[in-house]
Amino acid sequence: MNISQEQWWEDAQNDSNAVILDVRTEDEWNEGIIPGAINIDIYKGQGFIDALEELDKSKTYYVYCRSGARSGNACNVMNQLGFEKAYNLSGGIMQWQGPVVEPQS
């Protein structure tokens, strides 16, 4: 499900079950992330699926990428795998007006 930036961020902040998921590449991740995000690169194919399968499906996932396309695909994959709550950030980090931080190594 695509949701607006404001709704996405507000929901993520107010949801005790929230996980912010960045599905970009490691190089993109290193350029800056939305605070609190974890990274699983959608381009890893089966590795992406395997990593998703290790996540807690009862949590709520707020998913983003660069422009919103990959994260939209990621939400679809997550739904097929049994994740009931996966929300795509419309416009991705390129249109993101909220905070961006350096990832911790």
In a domain, 104, yes or no: no
In a domain, 95, yes or no: no
Residue 105 has pLDDT above 80, yes or no: no
Q: Please tell me the predicted confidence (pLDDT) of residue 35.
A: 96
The angle at the Cα of 10, spanning 49 to 91, to the nearest 5 degrees, equals 60
Please write the tens of the pLDDT for every residue from 42-94.
Answer: 999 999 999 999 999 999 999 999 999 999 999 999 999 999 999 999 999 99
Tally of domains within the chain: 1
In a domain, 94, yes or no: no
Please write the tens of the pLDDT for every residue from 15-48.
Answer: 999 999 999 999 999 999 999 999 999 999 999 9
The angle at the Cα of 41, spanning 39 to 47, to the nearest 5 degrees, equals 115
In a domain, 105, yes or no: no
In a domain, 77, yes or no: yes
- Residue tagged active-site, from 65, 74, 78, 93: 65
Q: Please tell me the predicted confidence (pLDDT) of residue 104.
A: 83
CA separation for the pair 50, 39 (Å, rounded):
13
Is 75 known to be catalytic? no
CATH code: domain of residue 77: 3.40.250.10
In a domain, 30, yes or no: yes
In a domain, 70, yes or no: yes
In a domain, 102, yes or no: no
Q: Could you tell me the residue range of the domain that residue 62 belongs to? A: 2-89
